[in-house]
Amino acid sequence: MPAPYHRARSFWHDWALPTWLVIAGVYGGFLLLTWTYHALPPWLAAPLLAFVLAWHGSLQHETIHAHPTRSRRINAALGWPPLALWLPYAVYHETHLRHHGAGDRGLTVPALDPESHYLDPAAFSGFGFVRQAAFRVNRTLAGRLVIGPAIAITRLWSHELRRQAAHSRSGIRLAHAVGVAIVLGWVVGVCQIPLSLYLLAVVYPSVSLSLLRSFVEHRAAAEPSHRTAIVETHPFWALLFLNNQLHQMHHARPDLPWYDLPLAWHEAALAADLGDGMHFPGGYSEVACRYLFRPFIAAEHPFGKVL
């Protein structure tokens, strides 16, 4: 465990002003870019919006971890709008807390960790050739960026639709449907952005960006402390991902707001306790050089159970 982290008190941090600035940037940027979409060249407008949607995903993660306020309802309201359409906030909230609740020994195990990219060996063996090939390709960075969003969206909704006691999910689905209607009413109805363009040129790439961050976050290892990575990266990526690329520090101190993670990590000197290959000082360039066309992990979980 890292040494306790103590930050000097300041108005800037006590009122979570960095996060409030991110909130203003995310929603202000979304409204501005959608409103002026047709005034910008397409090669600029769509990527900018995709980055804003990925940034919004990072903000949602922050609200799930009880920031920027002490009120769960306020935090949920700040993270709820489904700008990327596909992921219900309540589902993300539930599965992400289960991911953290899996504990050291359950982390990456498919039956216990809902965010695991591994598959149960028995389930994987029952897949057809094409499906197995797709999951194997998804273990490379190129595959994760190209087909990863389709796999992630399909897996989430197939799981949601299979869940028992569907009536207990009706509130979640209704709230999400209302949010999607509001977002599309603005994007398609008011701003006149074609739905197909928004889905293919904005939403899909935004999911790819989020999957870039999560690509090397976790890997199965016999020693639980070696299952989580640190990626040292450019400030641009750190801001886009709200420092969640310092993932080992985040798992050690999930209570810390994003702007405290870099100093906390350096003070704890966690880099000295990382497993082999789970520290990437060269950032995402290093990740790409090593795993663009090589698998980072296997499709099947190597242990398939709690260690």
* pLDDT digits 0-9 by tens, 247-264: 999 999 999 999 999 999
Mapped onto helix, strand or coil, the DSSP state of residue 108 is coil
Residue 6 belongs to some domain of the structure: no
Long-range CB contact pairs, 187-194, < 8 A, 24+: 187/34, 190/35, 191/34, 191/35, 191/37, 191/38, 192/38, 193/34, 193/37, 193/38
Instruction: Compute CA distances 292 → 152, 160, 216, 246, 287, whole Å.
Output: 19, 31, 12, 21, 7
The residue whose two tokens read 């969003």 is: 149
Residue 296 belongs to some domain of the structure: no
Residue 58 belongs to some domain of the structure: yes
Look at 34 and 159; give whichever has higher pLDDT: 34
Domain span holding position 200: 13-291
Question: What pLDDT sits at residue 302?
Answer: 86
Give pTM, 2 decimals.
0.93
Per-residue pLDDT band at 6 (split at 50, 70, 90): low
Q: At residue 215, what are phi and psi to the nearest 5 degrees?
A: -55, -45
- Is the pLDDT at 137 greater than 70? The verdict is yes
Residue 304 belongs to some domain of the structure: no
Averaged pLDDT, 198-214: 98
Say how many domains are in the chain. Answer: 1
CB 67 within 8 A of CB 19: yes
Counting every residue written for the chain, the total comes to 307
Rounded to a whole number of angstroms, the distance between the first and last alpha carbons of the chain is 19
Nearest to 229 by CA among 248, 254, 252: 248
Residue 177 belongs to some domain of the structure: yes
* Structure confidence by residue, pLDDT tens digits, 39-65: 999 999 999 999 999 999 999 999 999
Residue 258 belongs to some domain of the structure: yes
Quote the mean pLDDT of the chain. Answer: 91
Residue 131 belongs to some domain of the structure: yes
Measure the CA dihedral 110/167/87/212, to 10°: 0
Residue 211 belongs to some domain of the structure: yes
